[in-house]
Structure 1
Amino acid sequence: MAKIVRLTLFKIPDAAHIEEAVKKYSTLSQDAVKDGQQYIPVAHATATYDDPRNQGFTLVARTVFHSKEDMDYYDNQCQAHVEIKGLLKGKISQPPCVVYMDMKE
């Protein structure tokens, strides 16, 4: 089964809030636990370059999951994801754009 690569694009106007999100994503692989085990092999976020082609997106988070089921768990039950959403609540200018695809190895 192919791993799932997920990109989440955020519009966060304040640079300090972008840095907070980058720090939070840097520990996501350790913080996210399913059935007592870490289940996200790769997670990180990076600020974008200031470029009009970004269409206002200022942060990109890349998360890799072992399966679609793991991604669904992350979306619906993961406490670490709840914490990220809480951190960003009121700091983003619109809902994030989320795209995901099979990881080609």
Structure 2
Amino acid sequence: MSKIVRLTLFKIPDPALLQEAASKYSTLSQEATKDGKPYIKVAQAHPTHDDPRSQGYNFVARTIFESKADMDYYDNECEAHGAIKGLLKGKVGGPPLVVYMDADM
């Protein structure tokens, strides 16, 4: 079965917030649990290179899930993801851009 690879792009104007967000994502795959067990296969996030082609998006989070159901849980019920949302809410330039795809791994 294909895994779900999700990329979330942010416009974060505050450099200190960039570092704080990267730190939160670095522990997400251990802290996020579903039914008492970690369920995120990979969670990574990094600032982008400064380039006009980025259209102002300067931070990318990459998460890999076992299934679309796990990604839906992440969006709607995950407390660890809620903490990241709380950290970034009202501090980013516009809504994040989210894309996801099936990936054989």
User: TM-score scaled to structure 1, two decimals?
Assistant: 0.98
Q: Structure 2 unaligned runs (5+)?
A: none
Give secondary structure in 1 for the equivalent of 2:40: coil
What pairs up with 1:20-35 in 2 under 5 angstroms? 20-35=20-35
What does residue 11 of structure 1 align with? 11
CA displacement at 1:91 relative to structure 2: 1.2
* Residue-by-residue CA offset, 1:6-46 (whole Å, 9 max, x unaligned): 00000001111111100000000011000000000100101
Q: Percent sequence identity over matched residues?
A: 68
Alignment of structure 1 residues 1-105 onto 2, 5 Å: 1-105=1-105
C-alpha separation in 2, matches of 1:22 and 1:103? 24
* RMSD value, Cα: 0.6
Q: How many residues align?
A: 105
Which amino acid in structure 2 is aligned with residue 77 of structure 1? E
| Misfit runs of 4+, over 2 Å | none
**Structure 1: runs of 5 or more not aligned:** none
SS of the aligned residue for 1:94 comes to coil
